[in-house]
Structure 1
Amino acid sequence: MSRSALYSPRQQSGIGLLGAVILSAGVVVAGFLLATAVKDFRKYDQFIEVRGLAEEVVKSDKASWNLAFSAYGETPQAASQAWVKQQEKLETTVLAMGFEAADIRRQPMNIYENINPNGGQVEPAKRWRAQGGIVVETPKVDAVEQATLKTDVFLNENIVLESSFVQFYFTDLNSIKPRMLKAATDNAKEAAQTFASDSGVTVGALKTATQGLFSISAPLGEYGGENTVMKKIRVVTKVQYLVE
C-alpha cells in the first residue's frame, strides 16, 4: 500500500497546501538573503580612490667634501714624493678648520706621464704627474658649508685644488617616516571627504592603502638635492575608502 493511501483526499490537499506555503516561504527568505548579499556586495564595491601628499623640509645630517690636487716631478718617484708632501699639508689645513682625523679619508694616488699633444717637449719638472686627494666625511654639516667658502685658506698654504665639491645627505629618514605617512593619509582622507561631499555620498571605512616611495630633492626643485643643505622629503600614498 502506498503511503499516500493512508490519508484522505482532504488530508492530502492540506499537506500539499502546507508544502506549498513552506516552499514559498523558503523562496522569500532566499530572495531576501540574495538581495542583502547583492546590496552588501555593491556597497563594498563602491569606493573612492585618492592620493595623499606629504612634504617636509629637513636639514642634512651628513656631508661629503671631495678635495683633489696634483703634484709634478721629473720622475714618477719625484712626483709621488711631491704629492705626499702636498697631501700632508692639505690634511693639516683641513684639521685646522675644525675637523677630526677620523673625518678624513685618503683617495688613491694615480701617476701619469704628461705628453704634449702638439708634439713639443714637456717641461722636465712636470713630465710626471701624481693625482689624488682626500674626502672629508662628517656630520659637521655647517662646518663643511663654511669651509667650502674659504678657498683662500688653501691658496695661502700654496695648495692649488683642481676640484672641490661637496654633497649633503639626509640619512635619518626612518625618524620622520611615521609622521609623514600619517600626514599623507590625513591629506588623502580630506580629499576623499571633499570628493564624497560633492558626490552626495559618505566616506566609510578604509579599504586599501599603498605607500609610495620617499623622494629627497632640493627644497625649490625636484633635482639637485645633493648640493643643498636643506632637503625636501616627499611621499605620495594611494588610498581607497568605501562609500556609504
Structure 2
Amino acid sequence: MREKDGTNKRWPGSGKSSFRRKRIALPTGQPSTGPGPKSCSKRFRQRHPARSPGEGTNMFSDRILAAAVGVCVAAGLVGGAFVLGQALQETRKADRYVTVRGLAERDVKSDLAIWPLKVRVAGNDLAQVSQTLEENRKKVSAFLIQNGFGPEEVVLQDLRVVDRQASEYGQSNAQQMFRYIVESTVLLRSTKVDSVWGVSQRVDELVRAGVVLSAENAWEGISPRYFFTQLNAVKPEMMAEATRNARTAAAQFAADSGSRVGAIRRASQGLFTISDRDRSTEQESGGGGPGASDPWKRVRVVVTVDYFLDQ
C-alpha cells in the first residue's frame, strides 16, 4: 500500500513491492458494522435460490400444458362457431319448402256382384198372397240357377207383410185397395261379374212370367250392385304413382325458383275413393236416378307432400 509520503514499503523477505491494507483498530468489544463475508453470501442465496435438478424440466412441461390448453380452447371456439353456422343453415333450409299434391287414378273391374231381387205380391186373401209369393220366389231362384249360378249363391232373405187395415195411419180409400202386401227378397251374391251383368239384361223374362219386382228404395233401380274388393292389391303402386306425380310438380316449382327438389319434409295420404267409371253427373252428385251400377270402377287417391327446396 502506498503511504502518504509516496514511498513503497516492502514485505520483509520479498523482492517485490506490495501494498498492505490499512487496518483500522476498533475498540475492544465493539462489533463490526460492515457486512462480513458470511452476511453477503446469505443475502445472495436468498435473492438467487438454487434450483433443483428437475426444476427446469417442470417449467418446460408447464409451458407445454399451457400451450395445449390454448389450442383446445381455440378448437372449441372454432367448433362452436361451425355448429352454430350449421344450425342457422338448417333453420333457413327448413323454411324453404313447397307443398304439392299428386293424383293417381286407375280403372279396375269389379270382382263381386250383389243383386237383390225383391218380389212383391198384393191381395185381400193372406193365404193366397203367401202362396203366390212362394211361387214367384221359386221362379226367381230357378231363373238364376238356369243361368249358371249355384244354389249357394242364391239366398232367400226377409219376409215382410203389410196389413193396410191394421195400420194406425190407415188411408181413407183403404177399402178400395188390396189389404195385404207381402214382400220377400231373393239375393244373388256372386263373383261372376260378367254373368250377373248379362243376366240382369234379361230380367224382363221374369216380368213376362208374372213376377213383380220392386226396388229397395224409390230412387234405386233393380240392377245389380258391383264392388271392387282388391283395393289392398293396388294401393302400393298407386301410392308410388301419386308420389311421383307430386315430385314432378315440385320439380316444376323448383325450376321456376332456381332451386332443386330435396328430401320429403312431410307427407300425408288422402282417402282412396272407388266410384263407377261411367256414372252420370246426376248420380255422382247424390241425386240418385234409375241408372245401373257400373261393373267398371275408378280408384282414386290424392297425396299431399312437402318437399325441401335446396339451393
TM-score (norm 1): 0.81
**Residue aligned with 2:211, SS:** coil
Matched to 2:141, the amino acid is E
Give the CA RMSD over aligned residues: 2.9
Over 3 Å counting, the alpha-carbon distance change for 1:50 and 1:120 in structure 2 is: closer
Does structure 2 retain, via aligned residues, the 8 Å contact 1:58–1:230? yes
Instruction: Check whether the contact 1:168–1:226 (CA below 8 A) recurs between aligned residues.
Output: no
Which aligned pairs between 1:72-91 and structure 2 lie closer than 5 A?
72-91=122-141
Name the SS of the counterpart of 2:223 in structure 1: strand
Unaligned runs of 5+ in 1: 1-13
Aligned residue for 1:182?
240
Deviation of 1:52 after TM superposition, in Å, equals 0.8
Equivalence for 1:235: 301
* Mapped pair 1:152 → 2:204: yes
* Paired residues of 2:277 and 2:296 also in contact (CA < 8 A): yes
Residues 22 and 118 (structure 1 numbering): CA distance in 2 closer, same or farther, change over 3 Å? Answer: closer
Report the structure number with the largest CA radius of gyration.
2
Relative to its length, the structure with more strand (as a share) is: 1
Cα deviation, residue 204, structure 1: 1.4
Contact 1:54 1:184 in 2 (8 A): yes
Amino acid at match of 1:229: P
SS where residue 56 of structure 1 aligns? strand
Q: % of aligned pairs identical?
A: 33
The Cα of 1:213 is off from its aligned counterpart by: 0.8
Distance 2:133 2:155 in 1: 16
1:64 matched residue in structure 2: 114
Q: Please, which moves more after superposition, 26-35 or 76-85?
A: 26-35
AA matched with 1:111? V
Gaps of 5+ in 2: 1-62, 216-221
- The structure, 1 or 2, with the larger RCO (C-alpha pairs under 8 Å, 6+ apart) is 1
CA distance in 2, matches of 1:160, 1:88: 13
Q: Do residues 166 (structure 1) and 220 (structure 2) align?
A: no
CA 1:101 to 1:28, structure 2 compared with 1: closer, same or farther past 3 Å?
same
Q: Aligned match of 2:175 in 101, 111, 121?
A: 121
Give the AA of the match of 1:240.
D
| C-alpha deviation, 1:75, in angstroms | 3.5
Q: CA deviation at 1:80?
A: 1.9
Distance between the aligned counterparts of 2:120 and 2:153, measured in 1? 22
Bigger mean CA offset, 234-243 vs 42-51: 42-51
